[in-house]
């Protein structure tokens, strides 16, 4: 532990998060002799049940035909890799960055954002980032939570939404999450037939690149060049404008594709039916979810389901 603190003092930027200054956990613990606080957070996330379930949760394409589509787990790993590259180049704390990146989507529902929107419609205030925080604070380890540091918890909560993270490491993940999903969603959209290989606007190809790796490299290089030597994590205005244009293109051509919207509406209606069903049949949920407030417990149960588990329930309950 002391070795890593010495390394951090020599290597990290003054505005980086330093392990020696990590805020106290909610439940005090003895210091780990081998790992810094954020190395410990990272390990707890990787070994959690919620992390393992990500391999059977949708990223964008539900029940895709083929083995090479992203799941929520592979998305998470790609975001962690991109975030670590940026964090290392900017002399920020890679361990905190990695912990936030690996845990940022723990709270995602089955069927991706379709499931998230459906739960939010019957349980106002639900969002996957709030659920990620709830998982690590209250649901994992039979209700004890993972007892992560405040810096990691803040990064999970603030990787999306209006509230910004209070560490630059959290800001790295917030930005690299978008870099990751936009680029790998293009790859999956082409593989699925939603996009033609040459469908991207010429202006975006010329600025960002014509392959996934080229586009990611352009964006990452720009973030590092723009933020180097400064206590910020941001893109240049031209690159940010190109990324926003790419995001708008993906919404129009992929995320709002009529076939995809139809599928998501159907699955969203199933999630709402499931919610109302378990609100009226709480005794059919696992014992740990038979608690009050009931609607919160039902929401926790459904949000934790994998696509596979939810579809099996659909069949068992006879939902159309």
Confidence grade of residue 1 (pLDDT, cut at 50, 70, 90): low
What backbone phi and psi angles, to 5 degrees, belong to 33? -70, -20
Tens of pLDDT along 157-206? 999 999 999 999 999 999 999 999 999 999 999 998 899 999 999 999 99
Q: Round to whole Å and give the CA distance between 52 and 199.
A: 35
Q: Is residue 204 part of a domain?
A: no
- 90-to-187, 231, 253 alpha-carbon distances in Å: 28, 9, 34
Answer yes or no: are the C-beta atoms of 58 and 72 closer than 8 Å: yes
Task: Quote the DSSP letter at residue 135.
Answer: I
Would you state the pLDDT for residue 2?
76
For residue 162, being part of any structural domain is answered with yes
Instruction: Tell me whether residue 113 is in a domain.
Output: yes
Measured over the CA atoms of residue 103, residue 104, residue 110 and residue 112, the dihedral's sign is: negative
Contact 167, 98 (CB under 8 A): no
Whether residue 286 is contained in a domain is answered as: yes
* CA-to-CA separations, 100 to 125, 151, 157, 275, in angstroms, rounded: 22, 9, 9, 29
Euclidean distance between CA atoms 111 and 147, whole angstroms? 28
Q: Is the pLDDT of residue 4 over 90?
A: no
Q: Is there a domain that residue 166 lies in?
A: yes
Dihedral angle computed from the Cα positions of residues 215, 251, 60 and 320, in that order, rounded to the nearest 10 degrees:
-170
Has residue 271 been placed in a domain? yes
Q: How confident is the model at residue 5 (pLDDT cuts 50, 70, 90)?
A: confident
With respect to residue 23, please indicate whether it lies within any of the assigned structural domains. Answer: no
**Tokens representing 318?**
């006879």
Average pLDDT over residues 82-103: 98
**How many structural domains does the chain have?**
1
The pTM assigned to this predicted structure is 0.97
User: Which of 94, 105, 106, 107 minimizes the C-alpha distance to 39?
Assistant: 94
The domain that holds 284 is classified in CATH as 1.10.3210.10
Q: Domain range for residue 42?
A: 35-171+257-317
For residue 238, is it within any domain? no
């Amino acid at each position: 532990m002391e070795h890593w603190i010495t390394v951090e003092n020599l290597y990290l930027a003054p505005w980086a998060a330093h392990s020696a200054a990590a805020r106290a956990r909610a439940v005090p613990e003895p210091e780990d002799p081998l790992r810094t606080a954020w190395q410990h957070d990272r390990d707890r996330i990787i070994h959690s049940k919620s992390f393992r379930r990500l391999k059977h949760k949708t990223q964008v394409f539900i029940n895709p035909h083929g083995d090479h589509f992203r799941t929520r787990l592979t998305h998470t790993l790609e975001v962690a890799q991109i975030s670590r590259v940026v964090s290392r180049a900017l002399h920020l704390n890679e361990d905190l960055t990695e912990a936030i990146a690996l845990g940022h989507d723990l709270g995602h529902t089955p069927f991706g954002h379709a499931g998230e929107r459906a739960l939010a419609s019957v349980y106002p205030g639900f969002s996957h980032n709030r659920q990620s925080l709830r998982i690590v604070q209250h649901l994992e380890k039979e209700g004890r939570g993972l007892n992560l540091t405040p810096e990691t918890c803040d990064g999970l909560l603030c990787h999306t939404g209006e509230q910004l993270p209070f560490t630059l490491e959290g800001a790295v993940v917030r930005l690299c999450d978008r870099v990751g999903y936009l680029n790998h969603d293009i790859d999956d959209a082409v593989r699925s037939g939603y996009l033609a290989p040459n469908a991207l606007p010429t202006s975006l190809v010329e600025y960002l690149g014509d392959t996934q790796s080229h586009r990611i490299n352009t964006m990452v290089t720009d973030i590092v060049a723009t933020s180097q030597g400064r206590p910020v994590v941001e893109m240049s205005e031209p690159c940010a404008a190109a990324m926003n244009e790419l995001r708008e293109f993906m919404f129009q051509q992929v995320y709002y594709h009529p076939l995809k919207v139809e599928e998501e509406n159907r699955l969203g209606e199933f999630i709402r039916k499931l919610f109302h069903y378990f609100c009226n049949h709480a005794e059919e949920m696992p014992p740990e979810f038979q608690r009050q407030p009931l609607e919160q417990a039902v929401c926790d149960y459904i949000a934790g389901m994998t696509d596979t588990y939810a579809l099996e329930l659909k069949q068992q309950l006879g939902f159309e």
